[in-house]
A and B are shown apart, each in its own frame.
Chain A
Amino acid sequence: MREAAHGLAGRGYEIDLLTTCAQDHFTWANELGPGTTADGNVTIRRFPILQDRDHGRWNRVQERLMSGDRLNGADELVWSNGRFRVPDLYLYLAGHAEDYAAIVFSPYLFWTTLYCAGIAPERTVLMPCLHDEPYAHLRSVAALLASVAAVWFLSEPEHQLAHRLAPLPAHHSVVGAAVKIPETYDPEGFRKRHNLRRPFVLYAGRREGGKGWQELMAGFGIAVRRHHLPFDLVTVGVGQAQVPPSLENRILDLGYLAPAEVPDAFAAAAAFVQPSANESFSRTIMEAWLAETMVIASAASDVVTWHCERSGGGLLYADELELGQCLRFVAQAPEQAAQLARRGRAYVLANYRWPSVLDAMERSLEAFV
């Protein structure tokens, strides 16, 4: 969103970015001060988050939601309003909606979208970043998708999913997303700085169950054991890695990397593994391909499968045995793996650069503003 905001500002649009004072989506603590600041040619307005002390009721509704229960309207509101809320942002928008030609909300899942998108639906654009998960099937989400003026999707599978969830407004399109292209890579420097002496495969992302992290650790252990693979698994990102003791000498947690170092991590890896079934775009596989690093991804994600099939630059796995064979391929046929990775890079350069994404956004805005 930040890059899109700057991109549109660069094309002459006046952009206000309304957001919260939180930085951590686990705690939602107000770590940044409220108020207005400037980030280049974008104005940022931050509003404080409020949270109830007792999350018991929310937790119970969350458990029911995750176990497949269909919530009634009252429970959906408890869920939407129970994790955190930002009333100051709501009230600011209520008083200033008419100052904006369009108001873009993203992603679909949080209070800021679920509550605030209803303030001025005639000028609201939703960039939902949908996954096929229990939250997407809430009645309030269907109502949200149907009520806004326009919807922007990151990929065709996301677009198809939205059609299954709700009737969509006439103005909806796949605008895609873009990835910044690094000017240089320093894989050797990365290996030296982090003392990585063996070849490794990389996981970059949130280390949590919803992203397939635990399954990846287990599958990696099985693959190494069965095929005597030479790789370590290096992981970077937020969240606790919680590596089991039996895998501690082969799974290396580098924690949160400075943004400038992330491209080097991708370039240094023999392959990038994406285990998540919940992806609406998957920026990380684009970053891997740009670094000419092969991608091995879970076939459970429609979006990632779509990218791998279109690009010819990645392999898909359905279980730990197929993951093991994919890793074997990287170990035994590095030249062929590099060839696939180069196809991935060509795919990203052809489809996911900011000029074409911003062009799509502008066309959509012109249609209804």
Chain B
Amino acid sequence: MKILVVGSLPPPANARAEALQTEVVGLLADGHIVEVVAPSAVATAHQYMTATGLAGCLRLATMVSGFDSVVVQLQPGLPVRLRARGWERRLSLIAFAFALGRGHRVQLRLQSPDDLPGGPDGAAARRVWAKAERIVVGYEGLRAGLISSIGAQAEHVVVCSSPPSQVAVDDGRWGEDADVSAEDVLELVRKRAARERRELGEDASAHFAGWDRLATPGSAEAEWDLSIPRTRKPIDLARSALAAADRRPWFRPAATAARIGYRSAKTLFRDDPPE
């Protein structure tokens, strides 16, 4: 088969890129023809598609015909820009679903919920999942969440196998026996943190943005419930602006006057209770 793979292989090496690389190597070993198109301008690829978000999805729609199968690795920028607000996110996902609909035997890959800004749930995102014959996710919890939350069929959602290098470096163990030294533990801490730093690379902010609250252990909250940004009400925006003005001496009197004016207006225009 001729397969279009859209996603970023190493470099830089991170869990997502290495998992995709394992997939591509497997496809080549099976005798398929693979063309790799990368959103990252420095990743290993046959072609580059650096347009992000909505523009990238429309570009994708022009590429998928001519291939027997399409594999897309979701990441910040593809299909949703990191800083995309609600309407842009919805439009991007609709365009993405349209693009996938033009392809065949679609496989979608999601390493972690953070890779899809705004989270994997929502009506627009469900349109995307519905286009996939197969969904490959980074870990079991994400698989379970997709199955229960968006109604994906269990046999269509699988967990990707971890690339060997990742298992060797971080197997969750901290030494061979109980009597470990602080120096040994620190060496592991530094190696694993260095690996995280490399994984995050340019996308550092992508992994620390987009979450609103931490889940309480044992609660029913799903990770992606917390990753959908809250819509800020106008009053929240006004409060933030006043707080910013308070921090600047020149603007402080204006902020104070605005508060007094608001309170006076509230008092003046308050509906008196009926007698």
Query: Which of A's residues lie within 8 Å of B, judged by CB?
Result: 198, 221-222, 224-226, 230, 245-247, 249-250, 308, 312-317, 319, 321-322, 324-326, 328-329, 332-333, 335-336, 339-340, 343
Contact = CB atoms under 8 A, between A and B. Distances in A.
Given A225-B214, A325-B192, A339 B178 contact: yes
B225 to A, nearest CB: 13
Interface stretch (B88-96, B150-158, B181-189, B261-269): B181-189
Contact of A308 (B174, B182, B213, B217): B182
Given A250-B214, A332-B174, A339 B180 contact: yes
Nearest to B217: A230
A225 B208 CA distance: 9
B205 to A, nearest CB: 11
Secondary structure class of chain A's binding surface, majority of residues: helix
A315 B185 contact: yes
User: Which 5 A-B pairs rank lowest in CB-CB distance, beginning with the nearest?
Assistant: A321-B193, A325-B189, A333-B174, A322-B193, A312-B182
B189 A329 contact: yes
Interface string B165-186: 0000000111100111111011
Contacts of A321: 193, 196-197
Contacts of B207: 226
Contact of B213 (A198, A230, A249, A340): A249
Given A225-B211, A226-B207, A329-B174, A339 B193 contact: no
Interface of B: 172-175, 178-183, 185-186, 188-190, 192-193, 196-197, 207-208, 211-214, 216-218
Looking at B174, B197, B212, B214, which has the most chain A CB atoms within 10 Å of its CB? Answer: B214
B196 A339 contact: no
A326 B174 contact: no
11 contacts: A247-B213, A313-B182, A317-B189, A321-B197, A328-B192, A329-B185, A333-B174, A333-B180, A336-B174, A336-B175, A340-B180
Contacts of B179: 339
Contacts of B217: 198, 230
Given A245-B213, A321-B196, 15 more contacts: A224-B214, A225-B208, A246-B211, A246-B214, A250-B216, A313-B182, A314-B182, A316-B186, A321-B197, A322-B190, A324-B193, A325-B188, A329-B174, A332-B173, A333-B174
B243 to A, nearest CB: 13
B182 A332 contact: no
Nearest to B219: A249
Contacts of B218: 198
B189 A322 contact: yes
B210 to A, nearest CB: 10
A321 B208 CA distance: 11
B185 A340 contact: yes
Contacts of A312: 181-183
Nearest to B189: A325
Contacts of A336: 174-175, 178, 180, 185
A133 to B, nearest CB: 23
A84 to B, nearest CB: 24
B170 to A, nearest CB: 9
A339 B213 CA distance: 34
Contacts of B189: 315, 317, 322, 325-326, 329
A315 B174 contact: no
Nearest to A247: B214
B212 A246 contact: yes
Contacts of A343: 182
A239 B170 CA distance: 39
B6 to A, nearest CB: 26
A313 B182 CA distance: 7
B193 A325 contact: yes
A120 B259 CA distance: 55
B172 A332 contact: yes
Nearest to A340: B182
B172 A319 contact: no
A310 B173 CA distance: 25
A195 to B, nearest CB: 14
B172 A315 contact: no
Nearest to A229: B217
A249 B217 CA distance: 10
Nearest to B114: A225
B188 A221 contact: no
A249 B172 contact: no
Contacts of A222: 208
Nearest to A246: B213
